[in-house]
Amino acid sequence: MDRKKVEQHRLALFGRMVMGVAHEVDNYLSVILGFSELIQISGAAEKKTLDSIGKIFNAGEKINVIVRHFSYYVRPHEPAREIVSPAEVVGECLVFARYDLGRSSVVLKLPESIPSGMLTVDRRDFALVLLALLFNGAEAMAAAGGTLRLDVSRQDGAWEFVVADEGPGIPPEIASKVFDEGFTTKAGPLHAGMGLPLARHLAGEMGGSLSLSNLPAGGCRAAFRIPGN
């Protein structure tokens, strides 16, 4: 897979999240506008004024974080490895992706804690793999909803990131095709059949692997394994 396809998919995936970013920003702008109006009304009520100013600063910082992280991760670039914290990348991605992942009655379940340790990877490509797997799982549950679970573990120097959904699983007749470029069972312009092929390609470039399997109780398990520091 050439780099042009990776960057095209990055732009398409992040384009889907623009409405979610706008929704989150609008929420915090409402706080800013509401408390700004309260300050105007309260006049000399010093404590109320100080409390309102604190809430305004907090909401402004939230907007700054959302826009800064979104702008960083969407940017096309040439891969460059750096030492990153998986916990930080997961947190940064969810700042702008949580809204879209939680549509269609999908509940996102995150690990209570992520093991300490570092990875040497391209930060933005690593995030793109995680986002591709999370969105693939969320889409699998779009019809009926359910819990989308992310689990992170570390053992013998290797990391494993598992995304488990409660969708219908992978039918046997298409199991051999799910990593083929352009293969998709979903209709619409947003589904180009590139999420899983791209995720596996980038996982391999990082020295890792990506596998899919059906869960006994239903749903699909995507396991992204990668060597760690």
Tell me: the pLDDT tens digits for 56-104?
888 888 888 888 899 999 988 999 999 999 999 999 999 889 888 988 8
Query: For 214, how many CA atoms within 13 A lie in the half-sphere containing its CB?
Result: 12
SS3 labels along 109-129: ECCCCCCCCCEEECHHHHHHH
d(CA 137, CA 195): 11
Which pLDDT value is given to residue 191?
57
Give the tokens for residue 103.
């549509």
Please check whether residue 35 is in contact with residue 1, taking contact to mean a CB–CB distance below 8 angstroms: no
**In degrees, to the nearest 5, what angle opens at C-alpha 214 toward C-alphas 191 and 149?**
70
d(CA 92, CA 128): 12
Which pLDDT value is given to residue 142?
86
Strand partners, 98: none
**In degrees, to the nearest 5, what angle opens at C-alpha 23 toward C-alphas 10 and 101?**
50
What pLDDT tens digit does each residue of the chain (229 aa) get?
788 888 888 888 888 788 778 778 888 888 887 777 777 666 655 777 777 777 888 888 888 888 889 999 998 899 999 999 999 999 999 988 988 898 889 999 999 999 999 999 999 999 999 999 999 999 999 888 999 999 999 988 899 999 999 999 999 999 889 888 776 766 555 556 688 999 999 999 999 999 999 999 899 999 999 998 6
Amino acid at position 184, single letter = T
Which pLDDT value is given to residue 215?
96
Which pLDDT value is given to residue 15?
84
Length of the chain: 229
d(CA 190, CA 4): 18
How does strand 106-109 pair with strand 146-155?
parallel
Give the tokens for residue 112.
């209570």
Which pLDDT value is given to residue 163?
97
Which pLDDT value is given to residue 34?
79
Which pLDDT value is given to residue 44?
55
In the block, which residue shows the tokens 């040497």? 120
